[in-house]
């Protein structure tokens, strides 16, 4: 069940799903497309995930929990950002879902994120995710 306004972004990556999965779960690769963010997680369902970094001169520590992890297929987690200025309460967490679908030699990567408070917030998030996924695509395709 999704909450609030939902963001939906797809990108085709010219690489196998296993390589896309690496980009979703390897901290060194994540740092390269996610604005220098340091991610800590073991990627097992129920495990915590933390995101640390500096955005526009302000340090942040965001967090969530892994809900589903099916290697090469699907990764779902909750996500709360200190940068949004909302209290760390369950109703302020978003659910971010990554679906990987093999398409020939490539992979369709489909992201959804729920719980945007307004259509404007959803549109802002969509723009951020499109930028992140574009950079991820570039990195994954360059891994060869």
Residue ranges per structural domain of the chain: 5-143
Instruction: Write out the two tokens for 99.
Output: 């679906």
Full-model pTM: 0.93
Place of tokens 């549109």: 123
Question: Residue 51: what pLDDT?
Answer: 96
Is pLDDT above 80 for 2? no
- Taking only the tens place, the pLDDT of each residue in 106-124 is 999 999 999 999 999 999 9
What kind of architecture, by CATH, is found in domain 5-143? 2-Layer Sandwich (3.30)
> Does residue 14 sit in helix, strand or coil?
coil
Averaged over 53-82, what is the pLDDT? 94
- Taking only the tens place, the pLDDT of each residue in 4-25 is 899 999 999 999 999 999 999 9
What is the end-to-end Cα distance of the chain in Å, rounded?
38
Is pLDDT above 60 for 81? yes
Question: Residue 84: what pLDDT?
Answer: 86
Mean pLDDT of the chain: 95
Question: Residue 55: what pLDDT?
Answer: 84
Q: Which of 43-47, 54-58, 87-91 has maximum average pLDDT?
A: 43-47
Question: Residue 1: what pLDDT?
Answer: 52
Q: Which long-range contacts (CB under 8 A, 24 or more apart) does 124-128 make?
A: 125/7, 126/7, 126/8, 126/9
CA–centroid distance for 9 within its chain:
11
Averaged over 75-90, what is the pLDDT? 93
**The CA-based dihedral angle spanning residues 99, 40, 131, 116, taken in that order and rounded to the nearest 10 degrees:** 70
Question: Residue 82: what pLDDT?
Answer: 87
């Amino acid at each position: 069940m999704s909450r609030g306004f939902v963001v939906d972004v797809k990108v085709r990556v010219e690489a196998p799903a296993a390589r896309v999965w690496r980009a979703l779960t390897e901290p060194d690769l994540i740092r390269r497309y996610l604005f220098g963010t340091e991610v800590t997680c073991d990627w097992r369902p129920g495990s915590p995930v933390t995101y640390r970094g500096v955005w526009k001169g302000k340090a942040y520590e965001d967090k969530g929990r892994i809900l589903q992890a099916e290697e090469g297929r699907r990764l779902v987690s909750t996500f709360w950002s200190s940068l949004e200025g909302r209290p760390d309460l369950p109703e302020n967490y978003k659910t971010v879902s990554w679906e990987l679908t093999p398409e020939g030699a490539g992979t369709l990567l489909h992201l959804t994120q729920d719980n945007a408070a307004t259509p404007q917030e959803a549109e802002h998030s969509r723009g951020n995710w499109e930028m992140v996924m574009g950079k991820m695509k570039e990195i994954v395709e360059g891994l060869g």
